[in-house]
Amino acid sequence: MVDVGAKATTARYARAEALVRMSPRARGALEKAALPKGDALVTAQIAGIMAAKQTALLIPLAHQLPLTSVDVRFAWQPDGALQIEAEARTTAQTGVEMEAMVAASVAALTIYDMAKALDKGIAIERVRLLEKRGGKSGSWQREL
């Protein structure tokens, strides 16, 4: 594990995304909260938040961080994909990029789990960091 003891404690922020592609049938059921297992968007939002809080248990050598905020949001893209965007914040000696990416990933996996009865071909794509702020390296934003 990297020693961050000498690093300054600063406000840290990260935003990540995952895309989920599915059939029109699965999308329709998801939009109506009519999946056999219930409201997938609400469940995926909670799963993403819970996962961010468990990042240090899931990713070897990740630091356990006192998260001050985690948010998971959903938006349908013009091509039919579901965009999952996750944000994480802390005031700590290391960043929250992994927490944001874990939140987006687990939210996407939850969508798959809840909608797989209607579409076995659901694909999770493009899990990636979109933005980070804070720390020695400062701010970074992906050019879209």
CATH number at residue 41: 3.30.70.640
137, amino acid identity = S
Q: Is residue 69 part of a domain?
A: yes
Mind listing the pLDDT tens digit for each residue in 101-110?
Answer: 999 999 999 9
pLDDT of residue 34: 84
Closest to 24 in 3D by CA, of 15, 32, 16: 32
Distance CA 58, CA 87 (A): 18
Query: What per-residue confidence (pLDDT) applies to 121?
Result: 97
> According to the model, what pLDDT value does residue 94 have?
85
Q: What is the mean pLDDT of the chain?
A: 94
Q: Has residue 140 been placed in a domain?
A: no
CA distance 35 to 96: 32
- The answer as to whether 10 is a domain residue is no
Among candidate residues 21, 123, 31, 122, the one with its CA nearest the CA of residue 81: 21
pLDDT of 33 reads 87
This prediction has a pTM of: 0.94
User: Are the C-beta atoms of residues 99 and 55 closer than 8 Å to each other?
Assistant: yes
b/e map of 37-73 (b: 16 or more CB within 10 Å)? eeebbebbbebbbebbbebbeeeeebbebebeebbbe
Catalytic residue among 3, 39, 79, 113: 113
pLDDT at 25: 94
Residue 113: active-site member: yes
Task: Flag residues of the chain having pLDDT under 50.
Answer: none
Q: Count of domains in the chain? A: 1
* Cα–Cα distance measured from residue 85 to residue 44, given in angstroms and rounded to the nearest whole number: 11
Q: Which amino acid, 3?
A: D
Tell whether 53 is covered by a domain.
yes
